[in-house]
Chains A and B, each alone.
Chain A
Amino acid sequence: MTTDEALLRIVDLGKSYRSRERTVQALAGVDLSVRDGEFVTVVGPSGCGKTTLLKIVAGLLPASTGDVVLAGQRVTEPPADLGVVFQEYGRSLFAWKTVRQNVELPLRSRGVGRTVRRELVAEALDAVGLGPAADAYPWQLSGGMQQRVAIARAVAYRPRLLLMDEPFSAVDAQTRGDLEDLLAGLWRRYATTVLFVTHDIDEAVYLGQRVVVLGASPAGVVAQFPIDLPAVRDQLDTRSSARFGELRAQVYAQVRRTPQPTRRVPEVTR
């Protein structure tokens, strides 16, 4: 992999938080490249700085050291063509807007004309199976359906890079499997580049073309595992295959060898 192919390059990234008593180093020396169209998952124990990493990539937090370069541009503020799906689906949707209006909002600010906007929104809602719920309000939907709205909002936006921060960790197991397959299908259909953060090793192996293990304190990339499973995966067959078991065991062993963070990375304050 040459750097020319990389859509996203994270170079020697570090982040420290200063409080009155001490300085907490959350991330140090993070190096990671993501190719255009690749699906990369990042695993690590909770509190190791995964969310901090995503926020820096999204331009929501400044890095202390190092660089994030997206499509040749240094990231200093939220870049164009970036979509994010947050873990807190309920809080990232605007409760006074209908499903359709929530999905449409970023397109309006981008200045997309009404006709095109309508098409994009209708297609995105169909793609996540929410066509019939377009005029409902988010709070009238279940958690899994609310997260579908957030995904539809990202899909309609047609981002080059989609960041996902533990998006399925708050829904039940059945819904979670459905959402994973929905996401995998959307990724194949739209060829979007995805950087997906999770603390669930099974999920990371099931979804990713490459699994990046983040860990230690301060956190850096401790290992990367190419995932040579078939491109189209299945909750039953893939998860029960021998190769899945081997890959899962490798990643698991690596995560277990990685020292646990001694203290949580502090909640991000602005």
Chain B
Amino acid sequence: MRATVIAGLARGTRAAALALGLPVVLFVAWWLLSANSTNIFLPPLSRIVEAFGQVWLSDVFLRDVLPSLRRLATGYAAALLVGVGVGYLVGRWAVVRDLTSPILAYFRVLPAPVLIPVLLVAVGIGDATKLIVIALGAVWPILLNTADGVRAVDDVQLDTAAVYRLRHRTRHGLILRAASPQIFAGARQALGISLIVMVVSEMLMSTDGLGFTVIRFQRTFAIPQMWSGVLLLGLLGFGLAKLFELIERRVLRWHRGATGREEPR
């Protein structure tokens, strides 16, 4: 009993050491190597950490971080809604697929930030433009993965639904659920893209937000503060990815089980 507890602890410690080992080593290396830096553009890490506390643990959080998060969440949610909806239609009906595939192929490779100047003129400098750009950047992986997933739903499942005369609403739900592993794969990619597009759009056209703040620090030569913004963005991306993973693990438990990646009870 005690031995297993100790063994479990040892395993946990080992996993934690493996996961955190390299980041800790890099952090310490950065700290030591930059300690006596006199280069104004590469300040000591100790100064960056100090700036981090001063800048972000203040009302700047409310003024700049929250608006960024709100834009990210809204744009991403819109991308999810449109991507899953349109992806379902494209995946389900060959006619829709044939009609849309040239357009999809074009817009998929168009980098979303290139639309910023266009939207600035057409929509204006407000939040709407940023939300549109974020959603436009994030929608493609979701849409294409949903279409692939829906298209690949097992014929036996569709036949089963047809034979037992399941209601149309039930069938749509079953198809989306069967496609959910691919939908999640697309949504994970889209999350990273949303973050990038959010920062870029705030750097180009904003009066608040993380991207704007980093640019402002750079232009006013507040170099440690600028670096601290980069650190925060990295942490934010990391946290969001972990949160996503947590949700995915829960929702797709059946998929890991059905594909033999989770031990049967």
A residues at B contact (CB < 8 Å): 55, 58-60, 77-78, 80, 82-84, 86, 88, 90-92, 94-96, 105-106, 108-110, 136-140, 153, 157, 268, 270
Instruction: Report yes or no: A105 in contact with B156, Cβ–Cβ below 8 A.
Output: no
| A136-B265, A140-B265 known; A95-B162 Cβ under 8 A | no
Q: Which of B56-64, B66-74, B164-172 is found at the contact surface with chain A?
A: B164-172
Contacts of B257 in A (CB 8 A): 95, 137, 139-140
The 15 listed contacts between A and B (C-beta, < 8 Å) are A55-B159, A58-B159, A77-B162, A80-B165, A84-B159, A86-B156, A86-B159, A94-B157, A94-B177, A94-B178, A95-B254, A109-B166, A136-B265, A137-B254, A270-B155
| Cα A91 to Cα B153 with chains together (Å) | 10
B231 at interface (Cβ–Cβ under 8 A)? Answer: no
Interface residues on B, range: 20 to 34
| Cα A106 to Cα B164 with chains together (Å) | 6
Instruction: Report yes or no: A84 in contact with B167, Cβ–Cβ below 8 A.
Output: no
Contacts of A105 in B (CB 8 A): 164, 166, 170
B147-200 CB contacts (< 8 Å) to partner A: 154-157, 159-160, 162-167, 170, 174, 177-178
**5 closest Cβ contacts across the A-B interface?**
A106-B164, A96-B254, A95-B258, A91-B156, A139-B258
Contacts of B234 in A (CB 8 A): none
Contacts of B155 in A (CB 8 A): 268, 270
Q: Is the interface of B mostly helix, strand, loop or mixed?
A: helix
Chain B window 243-265, contacts with chain A (Cβ cutoff 8 Å), 1 for yes, 0 for no = 00000000000110110000011
| Cα A153 to Cα B123 with chains together (Å) | 55
Instruction: Report yes or no: A92 in contact with B166, Cβ–Cβ below 8 A.
Output: no
| A109-B170, A137-B257, A140-B257 known; A92-B165 Cβ under 8 A | no
| Cα A96 to Cα B179 with chains together (Å) | 12
Contacts of B165 in A (CB 8 A): 78, 80, 106, 109-110
Instruction: Report yes or no: A78 in contact with B162, Cβ–Cβ below 8 A.
Output: yes
When C-beta atoms are compared, the residue in chain B nearest to A96 turns out to be B254
When C-beta atoms are compared, the residue in chain A nearest to B154 turns out to be A91
Instruction: Report yes or no: B264 in contact with A94, Cβ–Cβ below 8 A.
Output: no
| Cα A55 to Cα B156 with chains together (Å) | 11
| Cα A54 to Cα B117 with chains together (Å) | 60
Minimum CB–CB distance for A93 against chain B, Å: 8
Instruction: Report yes or no: A91 in contact with B264, Cβ–Cβ below 8 A.
Output: no
| Cα A78 to Cα B158 with chains together (Å) | 12
Contacts of B154 in A (CB 8 A): 91
Contacts of A92 in B (CB 8 A): 156-157, 159-160
Select the residue from A110, A137, A153 with max chain B CB neighbours within 10 A. Answer: A137
Minimum CB–CB distance for A142 against chain B, Å: 9
When C-beta atoms are compared, the residue in chain B nearest to A94 turns out to be B174
Contacts of A157 in B (CB 8 A): 164
| Cα A55 to Cα B160 with chains together (Å) | 11
| Cα A77 to Cα B165 with chains together (Å) | 10
Contacts of B157 in A (CB 8 A): 91-92, 94
| Interface contacts beyond A109-B166, A140-B264: sample of 20 additional A-B pairs, CB < 8 Å, sorted by A | A59-B163, A60-B159, A78-B162, A78-B164, A78-B165, A80-B165, A90-B258, A92-B160, A105-B164, A105-B166, A105-B170, A106-B166, A109-B167, A109-B170, A136-B265, A137-B257, A139-B257, A139-B258, A139-B264, A140-B257
